[in-house]
Amino acid sequence: MSCVFTGIVENVGTVISARLGPHGGTICVASRSIAEGTRVGDSIAVNGACLTVREVSRETMTMDIMPETMRTTTLPGLKRNEAVNLERALNGAGRFGGHIVTGHIDAVGTVTCARSEGNARWLCISLPNTKFVARKGSIALDGVSLTVSSVGPQSAWVSLVSHTRAHTTLGKRRAGELVNVEYDILARYCERIAAHSANTPTIEMLEQNGF
């Protein structure tokens, strides 16, 4: 069964080592609060990308990164001592505070603008596709569940509250930096259903074509 996350970051960990190449690799991340209770085989979202734990100690977790993850996420750029957002997969007793996040990254976006307004921090993200993005809908950036404030042809604006700025890496994002993007899975399923329905013949279509 696929894992489910909420987009509510539990802790910001530190990359201890990153052995990465074009065909995959491993990363070791330090976070005592996440490592406690984590077992080999568990799933952890690292900057939003779902990874499987292969080794765990009192304070660190080592995870494999597959070639597909190398191609489709920002993880190949991770460096030693870099901060990363961490979230363990949701368990049956957990509270669901964000939105449904799968840990399957859809795209890599670019921060094109970062500015402050009162107690808010605004980020504009350039996206390769915005058909799955809706104003007041949900989006996950580097594993953080956010509400979309506005949508353009190739971009979206989000606002960071003070807690998000203080307890995730997004508060330090600047223009030109890359972020992992996961669109709302409900939007993806709706698009799939709509595309399938558009190709399904109706009674009217059959009658019009002589059937």
* Residue 210 maps to a domain: no
Percent of the chain with pLDDT over 90: 78
List Cβ neighbours of 44 (8 Å cut-off, separation of 6 or more).
29, 34, 38, 50, 51, 52, 53, 61, 63, 86, 87, 88, 89
Q: How confident is the model at residue 41 (pLDDT cuts 50, 70, 90)?
A: very high
Q: How many domains, the chain?
A: 2
* pLDDT category of residue 194 using cuts at 50, 70 and 90: confident
**Residue 82: per-residue pLDDT:** 98
In the chain, the amino acid numbered 132 is F
Residue 59 has pLDDT above 90, yes or no: yes
Task: Kindly tell me if the per-residue pLDDT of 207 is higher than 90.
Answer: no
Q: Tell me, yes or no, whether 111 and 168 share the same domain.
A: yes
Could you list the residue range(s) of the whole structural domain that residue 111 is in?
107-196
The answer to the question of residue 99 being in a domain is no
Confidence of residue 190 (pLDDT cuts 50, 70, 90): confident
In this structure, is residue 6 part of a structural domain? no
- Using only C-alpha atoms, the chain has a radius of gyration, in whole angstroms, of 19
Q: Are residues 112 and 192 in the same domain?
A: yes
Residues 40, 180: Cα–Cα separation, whole Å? 25
Q: Which pLDDT belongs to residue 22?
A: 82
Specify the DSSP class assigned to residue 128: S
If residue 193 lies in a helix (H) or strand (E), which one and from where to where?
Answer: helix 185-198
Contact between residue 161 and residue 120 where contact means Cβ atoms under 8 Å apart: yes
Specify the CATH number for the domain of residue 154.
2.40.30.20
Q: What is the per-residue pLDDT across 102-160, written as a single tens digit (0 to 9) for each?
A: 999 999 999 999 999 999 999 999 999 999 999 999 999 999 999 999 999 999 999 99
Residue 10's identity, in one-letter code, is E
- The answer to whether residue 76 sits within a structural domain is yes
